[in-house]
Amino acid sequence: MYQIENLGKLLKSRRAASASWPAVSRNVVFLGLTSLFTDISSEMVSTVLPLYLVFALGMAPLQFGIIDGLYQGASALVRLAAGITADRWRRYKEVALAGYALSAVCKPALILAGSAWPVIAAIIALDRAGKGIRTSPRDALISLSSPPQRLGTAFGVHRALDTCGAMLGPLAAFGVLALAPGAFDTVFVVSFCAALLGLSLLALFVENRPPAGAPPQTAVSLKAAAGLLGKPGFRGLVLAGALLSLATVSDSFLYIGLQRRLQLDAHFFPLLYVGTALVYMLLAAPVGRLADGIGRKTVFVGGYTLLLIAYLALMLLPPVLPSLFVYVVLLGLFYAATDGVLMALASTALPAGLRTSGLALLTTATALARLLSSVLFGLLWTWLDVQGAVLLFSAALATALVATVGMLYRAQGIEP
Amino acid sequence: MKSPNGNHLSVRGALQPSDGDPLHGAGSPIAATKRLRPGARGALFALIAALCLGVAATAVVLAVGRSEPRASAGESAQQASRQTIAAIRQRPHIVFRHMGMGDDFGTIALAPLSAPAGSRARADAQCARLYVSADRGICLGGSYALGGLYRGYVLDRDLQPQHSFPLTGLPSRARISPDGRYGSVTVFVTGHSYADGAFSTETTLLDMASGTTIGHLEQFSVERDGAPFWSIDFNFWGVTFARDSNRFYATLASGGKTYLVEGDVAERRARVLHENVECPSLSPDNERLAYKKRVERDGVSQWQLSVLDLATMVETELAAETRNIDDQVEWLDDQHILYASRDPGQVSEHIWMLAIDGGDRPRLLIPDAASPTVIRP
């Protein structure tokens, strides 16, 4: 309950600061709280899932590997379809609700599935599909609920709450198992309760915000969504987002690089993830607000510049423990300055009637680029070495940054 | 700096409905909630929240209650179990994981070699992978402490946990050198990243007396055809120790291939001997390796148990076993191997015995059992 009090305080101080507009709309706060509880729920399950499958069900690690692959891949498929549906019917809240509900019912279903692993695999795929369905309508609703000049703050507050849930989830799972060792079914029950809380927050307190400006019967189709790529502003963003993602080293590779350079024990891995998430959570809202103030393009480009500095630091900083702190802060800041800010930038470049489809397109493009970048980096690391691979990716990122600056600042139709 | 107005993409229109706007989007599946007054919505949420908290708290309390009887098992029962274990351990016996469904799934069990499928004695520790020597053991299990979900235990002679050490991922393989000096542990390290679901492994060598880490195979220098061999995608698994306890064999995977390496613990080096070998296991006379080999059968890739004669480097597929076997085998004697296999769709595993001369079909040795170790004191 600590974070809710905090949020209340945050809102109160913001309200006092600007009497005309609350800092972020009620809708955004409730969408953030929905994400918080949903992330507690889903991270509880993904923390204990390997343990459950292998220990409690006696599943072979190979079978678990297959399931893990499903877990990663299922969400991309449904993302675009959900985006188009939400735009066509102007039912952002309802489509998001369907996604949240699908993931929620998957938790008790895991208990009922027992040890039938094809059923478990199907449930996990459905759970991920739920995530794919809900993400873009939720982000569209955040943007449609916020004044254009406050989009950065709105996405920042949402991402802070979202990350907070992702950090609390594993703690909740450990807590249940510490009290009742081996009680995986209880973890799933508690996870379901958290999901229900998130779901009811969304159903009861979040309002649909159909764009009033656009005519309601606009034909929304795959073609119309694809047509968005013809708009120079949005096309520039998708290209920039994909290029930058392609030149971004995935976290796990970066952490392995760090571990090798600092000769850290592998047990430091969870600490690196938690540290980065903590910095991200604390800074998402302030950096989003900064983006609204000094310009989102500037902050977005600045975020990737910090990432470039982090790469150089990986090669140049002395291999001592304090360097770790520098990396974690740089990475957390990078996320705070780019993830929500990119959504804010895209929101201003997309017509309200096609907001969800556009956001779905953008996130699909960046996700695919990220996947490709992982494969590329793995290959480079094998052919060269850590230093060589990071050096090449640094050069690629610098090039992508220059191209991005060109595309973002030249393009019309993106607000700063 | 800001230009909130005057942009054709402005979302101003979207901001018109105020927070309390009634009946917006009536007719939607959840329009009913919109007809509620704000106060009623708050009350409804409070009700749901109370219900959720109540259910979650009840579930946890019930689970704590369920787990308590096991913790308060009587001292005398433990004493009796210790004596039974000590008695069995004086004669040739097999130690394995008990795989019968129930609360004791995965606990350590022992049976005399003279009657392996007869009644089994049980130790308390619950393991996902188990290996023992004459006076020690390794149990790779779970832990529910905040530090991490996986934990390994060094077991004493009575198979009671003596030291524990954190594991970085899912337990896979465990072995102990014949003199009990070294232990080896392989775990799966899962990438936590959003994009890559790839598996990598980590194989650690332990000092069994203290339960501390000596080194990781990933740090050993490897040679292939006389030249240094290294790649970032190196993964090692499935160590087996030779009679001198310093020499070992293991699987090295790189670039989509698996290799058999022969290594030296003291010199921290290894060299590639053969290809397509996973989870080797050295025979008691140190003349043969038994392992699983990737083969194509009817267009499907599966593991085939095979034996390599180390003197001649002649490989023989154990064709009498046609099933896909995923285990590091254990030698019963110089002519017979033991391994666990699961029937399709089943949770439990059974230990099978197979002669390496290729004559007989595999024989079921111990039902509801896995991770066998043969001890001849």
Choose the weakest-confidence range: A338-352, B100-114, B233-247.
B100-114
Q: Of all residues in chain B, what percent are helix, strand and coil, respectively (each to 5)? A: 15, 45, 40
Nearest to B30 among A203, A209, A371 (CB): A203
A50 contacts in B (CB within 8 Å)? 149, 170, 190
Q: Helices A232-246 & A321-349, crossing angle to 10 degrees?
A: 160
Assess whether pLDDT exceeds 80 at residue A57.
Answer: no
Band (pLDDT 50/70/90 cuts) for residue A124 is confident
B105 contacts in A (CB within 8 Å)? 56, 58
Q: CB-based contact (8 Å) between B10 and chain A?
A: yes
A149 contacts in B (CB within 8 Å)? 2, 4
Assess whether pLDDT exceeds 60 at residue B54.
Answer: yes
Q: Do the chains contact at B24 and A94, CB–CB below 8 Å?
A: no
Assess whether pLDDT exceeds 60 at residue B15.
Answer: no
- Which ipTM value was assigned to this complex? 0.80
pLDDT, mean of residues A323-343? 93
Band (pLDDT 50/70/90 cuts) for residue B27 is very low
Assess whether pLDDT exceeds 70 at residue B186.
Answer: yes
Q: CB-based contact (8 Å) between B300 and chain A?
A: no
pLDDT, mean of residues B126-139? 88
pLDDT, mean of residues A274-279? 91
Tokens standing for residue A302: 């600045």
B99 contacts in A (CB within 8 Å)? 58
Choose the weakest-confidence range: A113-122, A166-175, A258-267, B129-138.
A258-267
Band (pLDDT 50/70/90 cuts) for residue A27 is very high
Residue A143 CA from chain centroid, whole number: 15
Round to whole Å and give the CA distance between A299 and A292.
9
Tokens 């599946």 belong to residue = B29
Assess whether pLDDT exceeds 90 at residue B200.
Answer: no
Band (pLDDT 50/70/90 cuts) for residue B132 is very high
Q: CB-based contact (8 Å) between B231 and chain A?
A: yes
Q: To the nearest whole angstrom, how far is the Cα of B10 from the nearest Cα of chain A? A: 7
Q: Do the chains contact at B67 and A183, CB–CB below 8 Å?
A: yes
pTM of this prediction?
Answer: 0.73
Q: What is the model's pLDDT at position B95?
A: 95
Q: What is the model's pLDDT at position B106?
A: 81
Q: What is the model's pLDDT at position A266?
A: 61
**pLDDT (tens digit per residue) in B223-259:** 999 999 987 778 899 999 999 999 999 999 887 789 9
pLDDT exceeding 70 applies to what percent of chain A?
A: 83
Strands B182-190 and B199-207: antiparallel
**pLDDT (tens digit per residue) in A213-235:** 655 545 677 788 888 888 888 99
* Residues B159/B132, Cβ–Cβ less than 8 Å: yes
**3-class SS string, A103-143:** HHHHHHHHHHCCCCHHHHHHHHHHHHHHHHHHHHHHHHHHH
Assess whether pLDDT exceeds 80 at residue B20.
Answer: no
Assess whether pLDDT exceeds 80 at residue B30.
Answer: no
B193 contacts in A (CB within 8 Å)? 250-253, 374
Q: CB-based contact (8 Å) between B210 and chain A?
A: no
| Strand partners of residue B216 | B204
Q: Do the chains contact at A61 and B170, CB–CB below 8 Å?
A: yes
**At A235, which amino acid appears?**
R
| Among B277, B246, B273, B252, CA closest to B262 | B273
Q: What is the model's pLDDT at position A38?
A: 97
Nearest to B146 among A174, A183, A211 (CB): A174
Q: To the nearest whole angstrom, how far is the Cα of A335 from the nearest Cα of chain B? A: 14
A65 contacts in B (CB within 8 Å)? 197, 199
**pLDDT (tens digit per residue) in B308-364:** 999 999 999 999 999 989 899 999 999 999 999 987 656 678 999 999 997 789 999
Q: CB-based contact (8 Å) between B72 and chain A?
A: no
Residue B195 CA from chain centroid, whole number: 24
Choose the weakest-confidence range: A68-82, A119-133, A233-247, B297-311.
A68-82
* Residues B228/B206, Cβ–Cβ less than 8 Å: no
| Max CA distance (Å), chain A | 61
pLDDT exceeding 70 applies to what percent of chain B?
A: 80
Distances (CA, A) of A325 to A159, A164, A275, A331: 22, 20, 8, 10
A11 contacts in B (CB within 8 Å)? none
pLDDT exceeding 90 applies to what percent of chain B?
A: 47
User: Which is more confidently placed, B257 or A60?
Assistant: B257
Choose the weakest-confidence range: A159-163, B219-223, B289-293, B340-344.
B340-344
B348 contacts in A (CB within 8 Å)? 58
B64 contacts in A (CB within 8 Å)? 179-180
**Residue B296: which residues within 8 A CB-CB, separation 6 or more?**
none
CB contacts under 8 A, B 339-358 vs A, are 342, 345, 347-349
Nearest to B191 among A27, A176, A252 (CB): A252
Q: Do the chains contact at A68 and B189, CB–CB below 8 Å?
A: no
Q: To the nearest whole angstrom, how far is the Cα of B128 from the nearest Cα of chain A? A: 6
CB contacts under 8 A, B 235-264 vs A, are 255
pLDDT, mean of residues A114-138? 86
**At B175, which amino acid appears?**
R
Q: Do the chains contact at B30 and A93, CB–CB below 8 Å?
A: yes
Report how many Cβ contacts below 8 Å link chain A to chain B.
Answer: 234
Distances (CA, A) of A348 to A85, A91, B27: 21, 20, 30
Residue B140 CA from chain centroid, whole number: 7
Q: Do the chains contact at A381 and B36, CB–CB below 8 Å?
A: no
Nearest to B11 among A180, A250, A352 (CB): A352
Q: Do the chains contact at A382 and B255, CB–CB below 8 Å?
A: yes
Q: Do the chains contact at A65 and B197, CB–CB below 8 Å?
A: yes
Band (pLDDT 50/70/90 cuts) for residue A21 is very low
